[in-house]
Amino acid sequence: MANKALLTLALALVATSGDLAAAESEKPRIISQIEQQLAAPTSDNQVPALLIAPIETTLASPMFGRVAKHNVSLGSSFKKGDLLISFVCADRDAQVGMGEAEFAAAQVAYENKLKLQGLSQAGEIEVTLAATEASRTKAQLDYFEALADQCDVRAPFSGKIANVRVNPHQGVAQGEPLVDIISTNGLKAVMNIPASWLKEVKLKDEVILSISETGQSYAAKLSAINSTVDSVSHTIKVEAEITKAPSNLLPGMSGNAQFSR
């Protein structure tokens, strides 16, 4: 009886191990099917597309201080060089004034020594020391002016405000985020295309973008092809730059990209 029970248990274990082995052998096929679905385009020549800004960055505070005012609001536009945020900087402005006075005095002293040298009333060492002092005060003035320049945060490029992180009169630490900005010039679409398309797709190919949020189509040209193929989905990332993108197109919109192959 005991031997029969052991035999039954052994047969059950063999059957279970067989099922596990079958499952393991089936696993790669299932994963392969999923990968093929991920890599498959929505149609023969279409893939999903997402609009992105060519430049998207966060401006951080260059100094410890208190915000005097800001000229930004969510979604507002700005041009390169526009003043976005300014800090209270009475102390740094005073340093600049002090540096200007010291440099002016040193410059006058140097010029006076040159005149005296021409009259043989000042030696070469005196003139050299006066020139060195003038150079030192000029370098100090440049340093004070560089510090004062940090009081104004200006736009590094033309674009729009994506997020405002500080308020007027707020104290901030050096390196603290102030405002998120994006460039809207040269809006791009990013896509993952099947790697098999690389035989036919090349840079500057025309792509037609159909954007869901606007219900319209836009012409674009392929501007970048990644150097690496994703080994899981067997796709490769590409970018297309929209030709004359209208103002109603915004980063984050999505749709489909139609390729001509």
Domain boundaries, the chain: 56-183
- Arithmetic mean of pLDDT over the chain: 84
Alpha carbon of residue 159 to chain centroid: 13
d(CA 198, CA 85): 46
Q: 52-61: b or e for each residue (b if 16 or more CB lie within 10 Å)?
A: bbbeeeebeb
* pLDDT higher at 154 or 20: 154
- DSSP states of 204-253 as a string? T-EEEEEETTTTEEEEEEEEEEEEEE-TTT-EEEEEEEETT--TT--TT-
Instruction: Find the range with the poorest average confidence among 11-25, 64-78, 153-167, 200-214.
Output: 11-25
| pLDDT computed for residue 29 by the predictor | 45
Q: Where are the beta strands (DSSP E) in the chain?
A: 46-52, 55-60, 65-70, 77-78, 83-87, 152-154, 159-164, 171-172, 177-183, 188-194, 206-211, 216-229, 235-242, 254-259
* pLDDT higher at 199 or 260: 199
- Measured in degrees and rounded to the nearest 5, phi and psi for residue 118 equal -65, -25
- Measured in degrees and rounded to the nearest 5, phi and psi for residue 31 equal -60, -40
Residue type, 214: T
Residue 37 pLDDT > 60? no
C-alpha distances in Å from residue 78, one per residue of 52, 57, 105:
19, 14, 41
Name the pLDDT band for 62 (thresholds 50, 70, 90): very high
CATH for 56-183 is: 2.40.50.100
Residue 34 pLDDT > 50? no
- Measured in degrees and rounded to the nearest 5, phi and psi for residue 159 equal 175, -145
Residue 1 pLDDT > 80? no
Beta bridge partners of 87: 67
Mean pLDDT to the nearest integer, 113-142? 89
SS3 134: helix
Instruction: Find the range with the poorest average confidence among 4-13, 112-121, 138-147.
Output: 4-13
* Angle subtended at Cα 204 by Cα 201 and Cα 209, rounded to the nearest 5 degrees: 80
What residues contact 81, with CB distance under 8 A and at least 6 apart?
A: 154, 155
